[in-house]
Amino acid sequence: MWESLRQWDRDVFIWFNTANPQWMDPFWILVTDTKFWIPLFLLIFFLFFRMFNFKKALLAHIFLFTATGVNIALMLLTKHGVARLRPNNIPELAELIRTLQEPVSFSFYSGHASNSFVITVFTILVLRKQFPWIYVFLIFPLLFTTSRLFVGVHYPSDLLVGAFMGTLIAIVSYRLFKRVMLKSEAGKKLVHTSDG
Q: Look at residue 27 and tell me if it is in a domain.
A: no
Q: What is the per-residue pLDDT for 2?
A: 78
Q: What is the per-residue pLDDT for 188?
A: 57
- 127 touches 61 (CB < 8 A): no
Q: Look at residue 64 and tell me if it is in a domain.
A: yes
Q: Look at residue 125 and tell me if it is in a domain.
A: yes
Q: What is the per-residue pLDDT for 98?
A: 87
Q: What is the per-residue pLDDT for 91?
A: 86
Q: Residue 57: which domain range?
A: 2-19+36-195
Question: Which long-range contacts (C-beta less than 8 Å, at least 24 apart) are formed by 66-70?
Answer: 66/173, 67/118, 67/122, 67/169, 67/170, 67/172, 67/173, 68/115, 68/118, 68/119, 70/169, 70/173
Q: Look at residue 88 and tell me if it is in a domain.
A: yes
Number of structural domains the chain divides into: 1
Q: Look at residue 156 and tell me if it is in a domain.
A: yes
32 DSSP assignment: T
Q: Look at residue 26 and tell me if it is in a domain.
A: no
Q: How far apart are CA 159 and CA 176, in angstroms?
A: 26
Tens digit of pLDDT per residue, the chain (196 long)?
777 888 899 999 999 999 889 999 999 999 999 999 999 999 999 999 998 889 899 999 999 999 999 999 999 999 999 999 999 888 888 788 888 888 888 999 999 999 999 999 999 999 999 999 999 999 999 999 999 999 999 999 999 999 999 999 999 999 999 999 887 665 555 444 444 4
Q: What is the per-residue pLDDT for 185?
A: 65
Q: Look at residue 24 and tell me if it is in a domain.
A: no
For the chain, counts of helices (H) and of strands (E): 7, 0
The CATH number of the domain holding residue 60 is 1.10.606.20
- 48 touches 122 (CB < 8 A): no
Q: Look at residue 176 and tell me if it is in a domain.
A: yes
Q: What is the per-residue pLDDT for 95?
A: 80
Q: What is the per-residue pLDDT for 190?
A: 44
